[in-house]
């Protein structure tokens, strides 16, 4: 027995000193992964997707473009041609997009639809990749890995654009305007798919993004 254990033994009156218990291991904090072990989207993943699709680069740039276009041609006319009118147009679109994305992410649970656009690493050729982006504008992959109609997306885009007539200016509360906005909803999804499909490749060729 070494000198230090012997000293401790004498100090404690001959009783053996027990080693202190190790400190408790803190519980593991769940990560905010968008996919589980099987690759299926999680609840956090659906929330992340809705936020990204609402305030991500593709959505924000589209909002700037459409708001500028509407201001230039004074549509809707109630907002007038001014910066305030531009801001109102941008806010109106943003609230509609946010509502639609949340609705799609939530309703998708019913059919197990994954709202995310998944690039196909084996797909080659711009034409094929473009057709895939178009196809997945109207389709989605379910929990069984099957590609099926995106029912949640249909309901979300059609339903929220119809519902938005309740707070839109009078000039936009017509059937033709509602149908046009529904088309814009699917068009916006196509632009988002195109961004996800081609932007990673474009980014690799831009010096600004490749600085170390």
Q: What is the pTM of this model?
A: 0.77
Q: Tokens 């989605």 sit at which residue? A: 140
Cα separation, 104 vs 194, whole angstroms? 19
φ and ψ of 41, to 5 deg: -70, 140
Cα separation, 53 vs 27, whole angstroms? 33
DSSP 107-173: HHHHHT-B-S----TT--SHHHHHHHHHHHHHEEE-TTS-EEE-HHHHHHHHHHHHHGGGTS-GGG-
Q: Tokens 């916006």 sit at which residue? A: 188
Report the residue count for the chain. 212
Q: What residues form DSSP beta bridges with 147?
A: 141
pLDDT of amino acid 33: 64
Which residues of 3-138 form beta strands (DSSP E)? none
Q: What residues form DSSP beta bridges with 35?
A: 41
Instruction: Provide the terminal-to-terminal Cα distance of the chain, rounded to the nearest Å.
Output: 58
Cα separation, 171 vs 79, whole angstroms? 11
Q: Name which of 120, 119, 114, 197 is nearest 150 in CA terms.
A: 114
pLDDT tens digit string along 114-143? 999 988 877 788 999 999 999 999 999 999
pLDDT per residue of the chain (212 residues) written in tens, 0 to 9: 454 444 344 444 444 445 445 444 443 333 456 777 777 899 999 999 999 999 998 899 899 999 999 999 999 999 999 999 999 999 999 999 999 999 999 999 999 999 999 888 777 889 999 999 999 999 999 999 899 999 999 999 999 999 999 999 999 999 999 999 999 999 999 999 999 999 888 888 887 766 65
Task: Yes or no: say if 129 and 61 are a contact pair by the CB < 8 Å rule.
Answer: no
- The domains of the chain are located at 41-194
Taking CA atoms, 50 is separated from 53, 130, 144, 151, 199, in Å, by: 5, 23, 22, 16, 19
């Amino acid at each position: 027995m070494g000198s230090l254990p012997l000293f401790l033994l004498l100090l404690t009156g001959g009783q053996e000193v027990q080693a202190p218990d190790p400190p408790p291991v803190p519980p593991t904090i769940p990560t905010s992964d968008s996919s589980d072990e099987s690759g299926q989207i999680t609840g956090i993943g659906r929330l992340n997707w809705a936020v990204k699709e609402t305030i991500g680069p593709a959505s924000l740039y589209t909002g700037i473009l459409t708001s500028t276009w509407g201001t230039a041609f004074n549509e809707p006319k109630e907002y007038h041609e001014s910066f305030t009118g531009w801001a109102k147009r941008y806010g109106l679109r943003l609230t509609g997009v946010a509502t639609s994305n949340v609705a799609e992410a939530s309703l998708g649970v019913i059919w197990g639809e994954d709202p995310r656009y998944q690039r196909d690493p084996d797909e080659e050729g711009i034409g094929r990749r473009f057709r895939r982006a178009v196809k997945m504008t109207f389709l989605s992959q379910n929990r069984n890995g099957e590609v099926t109609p995106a029912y949640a997306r249909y309901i979300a885009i059609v339903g929220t654009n119809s519902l938005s007539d309740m707070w839109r200016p009078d000039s936009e509360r017509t059937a033709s305007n509602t149908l046009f906005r529904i088309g814009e909803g699917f068009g916006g999804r196509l632009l988002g798919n195109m961004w996800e499909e081609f932007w990673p490749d474009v980014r690799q060729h831009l010096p600004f993004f490749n600085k170390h």
